[in-house]
Amino acid sequence: MLVMLKPLTKDSIGEDFNQELSVQDYKKKSTIDGVQIINLQMFLDDGGALAEIIRLDDQGNLQAIPEFKVKQSTFSQVLPGAIKAFHLHYNQEDVWFVLPGDRLLIGLFDARKNSPTYKTSMRFVMGAGRAQLLYLPRGVAHGLANPYQATANMIYFVNQCFSPDEPDELRLPWDTLGEDFWDIRKG
């Protein structure tokens, strides 16, 4: 015998709880002009996984971002609890790849005063089972945090070589968007 259940309403929830009810926001989040998240194809089989990170054309430009010419590639390891933020470049552009088996919290904001998305911020997770590239145009402040329990690894590509004598590596405080920006959101 199939019993048809009646839908509940807010009045069906005890007063101790119904004043605290909320709905998570599932709307598409704001994006920063020029920032690109490029999903990569990941091939899975019973022996593991494979993802092609970058493919270069005959001139050395990324095929996924044809105007981006790779000049240097760097590996970075981020320990649990670490926050590396915020960095900004006048000339350099970055392409980030977080290993799919790892997880990092990414934070961005648009510091370019003439940009249509000036002061817009973005906060999202990379890795976590996905293979993605993140393109960061110059002038977009960027950082990352590892609020998780395991060490995380990333590889990034830049369109100019780092020079310790003339670094195009400017810093803003890690809490520019507030101390709680890097906290895991509860609820």
In a domain, 2, yes or no: no
pLDDT tens digits for 36-90?
999 999 999 999 999 999 999 999 899 999 999 999 999 999 999 999 999 999 9
CB proximity list for 25: less than 8 A, separation 6 or greater: none
In a domain, 173, yes or no: no
In a domain, 56, yes or no: yes
Find the CATH number of the domain harbouring 131. Answer: 2.60.120.10
In a domain, 141, yes or no: yes
Angle among Cα 37, 93, 120 to the nearest 5 degrees reads: 60
Preceding peptide of 86 cis, ω within 30°: yes
In a domain, 27, yes or no: no
In a domain, 83, yes or no: yes
In a domain, 98, yes or no: yes
Characterise 179 by phi-psi region: left (phi > 0), alpha (psi -120 to 50), beta (else): alpha
Give the separation between CA 117 and CA 115, rounded to whole angstroms: 5
Output the pLDDT for position 3.
79
Of 178 and 18, the structure prediction assigns the larger pLDDT to 178
Does residue 1 have a pLDDT over 80?
A: no
pLDDT category, 25, cuts 50, 70, 90? confident
User: Residue 56 carries which DSSP code?
Assistant: B
H or E segment and range at residue 150: none
Q: Which domain holds residue 122?
A: 34-160
pLDDT tens digits for 76-125?
999 999 999 999 999 999 999 999 999 999 999 999 999 999 999 999 99
In a domain, 9, yes or no: no
pLDDT tens digits for 115-167?
999 999 999 999 999 999 999 999 999 999 999 999 999 999 999 999 999 99
Count up the domains in the chain and report the number: 1
